[in-house]
Homo-oligomer: A and B are copies of this chain.
Amino acid sequence: MILCDIGNTTFHFLINGKHKKYFLDEKIPVFDDEVYYISVNEKASKKLLKNNPTSKNIEEIINFKTSYKGLGIDRAVACCSYEDIVIVDAGSAITVDIMEKGIHQGGFILLGIRSFISSYPKISKKLKFSFEKDINLDKIPLQTKDAIQYAMLKSIILPIKEVSFNKNIIFTGGDGLVLSKYFENSVYKKDLIFENMKRIIDANNCIA
């Protein structure tokens, strides 16, 4: 079984426990094995299906109810089967979703760290900075490079803190590990999406 998470920039495969990424405009292989996928990009889904026409879309078998209009399938898969949790997927955007008693309560979308970093110098060249990972968040900054990084981290951390004060948090995504360190009640699961995809497939196979 091969898993594939199609995002806005890559096909992200899990093949025999190994990660393999292809950009959306790259050639993707024809696989012998069965492919299960999720996708937020219809054009890319078609590309996968062209080479691998029996690929199965997990969106069609997932059992996930929410009042949120237009929730990305990646966010649904990340939240699926948790009771009380905050799920933070920290990529180019940072999605934050709240589960309460097994029901999705909604969520919000913060700018990703890279987006913050590239936005400051567009305001003024003086606001260009390199991200350091050891900024002291307990002290009001006394120079510009700290003033920016403090603000950026607070802009990301405080909205997550506010909705997770009585809940545990699972971080995933490229910047998940860095961010998880600012939260005591958190774990980082690099492969949260793939793990949950597997869970959904297994549950579905039981039912079938």
Contact = CB atoms under 8 A, between A and B. Distances in A.
Instruction: Give the copy number.
Output: 2
A150 B108 contact: yes
A139 B109 CA distance: 14
Nearest to A163: B140
Given A107-B141, A141-B106, A158-B159, A123 B68 contact: no
Interface string A153-171: 0111011001100000000
A121 to B, nearest CB: 11
Interface in A146-196: 147-148, 150-151, 154-156, 158-159, 162-163
Which interface class (under 10, 10 to 19, 20 to 34, 35 or more) fits A? 35 or more
A90 interface: no
* 6 closest cross-chain pairs (CB), A and B: A106-B140, A158-B158, A155-B155, A154-B159, A108-B151, A69-B143
Interface of A: 8, 67-70, 92-93, 96, 98, 105-112, 115-116, 118-120, 122-124, 127, 139-144, 147-148, 150-151, 154-156, 158-159, 162-163
